[in-house]
């Protein structure tokens, strides 16, 4: 008689399986496997395990420049990145959030600073602080602009939803639920006074991100509370 809950059965059910998907591979919906051959950038603290010879380095001042360092100081720990260099298998996760892999092909993408998990080191990146909203939401919001070609892994609480933006139909989102958007879009912040009165002055829902043009925006069914809002 087969033992349903034996250690052997547990190992069989949960052990890693090489799916042959290349550099970035979804081991599970919430665990990213990277078949490391050189270097990638990842969210600091996202490593859960690795095999082989891998070294981790936090971004240095000279590598990223004074401008990025200054912006990172303003935005808190959400955008802290590390290099993972070497050869082996690297496993990344972020608080059990669902992981999506995107391949950029001379594209640009904006990702909320809390929702970036990893990307190839040849992709150009920069931290953008939304200063216009700083007076509305405590400290403002920040995101990372990614540009070029290569693989990117982003995270979301639960299943992400992608909304198409057209010239005739703009999309409005809650900033705390916005994960990413296409690089050709520039969000505008609008305040709904009636909604603010209805919900209360402290509610983030009185502030909305308005996307106009042709592109897409990714949202999650969850309102993230950021460090700068907690401390504000």
Would the pLDDT of 102 be above 80?
A: yes
Of residues 230 and 38, more confidently modeled: 38
CB 165 within 8 A of CB 212: yes
In total, the chain counts a number of residues equal to 232
d(C-alpha 227, C-alpha 232), whole Å: 8
Mean pLDDT, rounded, for 65-70: 51
Among candidate residues 207, 83, 198, the one with its CA nearest the CA of residue 135: 207
- Long-range contact pairs involving 8-16 (C-beta distance under 8 Å, separation at least 24): 16/89
CA distances from 147 to 8, 58, 83, 116, 144 (A): 45, 21, 18, 14, 10
Mean pLDDT, rounded, for 118-141: 73
Residue 64 pLDDT: 52
Q: Which CATH number fits domain 21-231: 3.60.160.10, 3.40.50.300, 3.10.180.10, 2.60.40.1930?
A: 3.60.160.10
């Amino acid at each position: 008689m087969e033992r349903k809950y034996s250690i052997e059965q547990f190992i069989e059910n949960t052990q890693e399986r090489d799916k042959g998907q290349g550099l970035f591979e979804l081991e599970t919906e919430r665990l990213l496997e990277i078949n490391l051959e050189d270097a990638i950038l990842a969210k600091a603290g996202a490593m859960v395990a690795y095999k082989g010879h891998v070294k981790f380095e936090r971004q240095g001042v000279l590598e990223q420049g004074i401008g990025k360092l200054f912006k990172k100081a303003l935005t808190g720990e959400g955008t802290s990145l590390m290099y993972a260099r070497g050869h082996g298998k690297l496993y990344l996760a972020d608080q059990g959030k669902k992981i999506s892999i995107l391949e950029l092909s001379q594209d640009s993408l904006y990702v909320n600073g809390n929702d970036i998990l990893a990307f190839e080191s040849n992709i150009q990146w920069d931290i953008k602080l939304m200063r216009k909203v700083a007076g509305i939401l405590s400290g403002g919001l920040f995101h990372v602009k990614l540009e070029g070609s290569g693989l990117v892994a982003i995270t979301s609480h639960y299943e992400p939803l992608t909304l198409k933006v057209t010239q005739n139909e703009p999309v409005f989102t809650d900033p705390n639920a916005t994960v990413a958007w296409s690089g050709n879009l520039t969000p505008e912040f609008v305040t709904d006074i009636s909604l603010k009165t209805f919900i209360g002055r402290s509610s983030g829902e009185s502030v909305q991100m308005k996307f106009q043009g042709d592109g897409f925006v990714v949202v999650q069914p969850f309102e993230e509370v950021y460090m700068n809002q907690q401390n504000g």
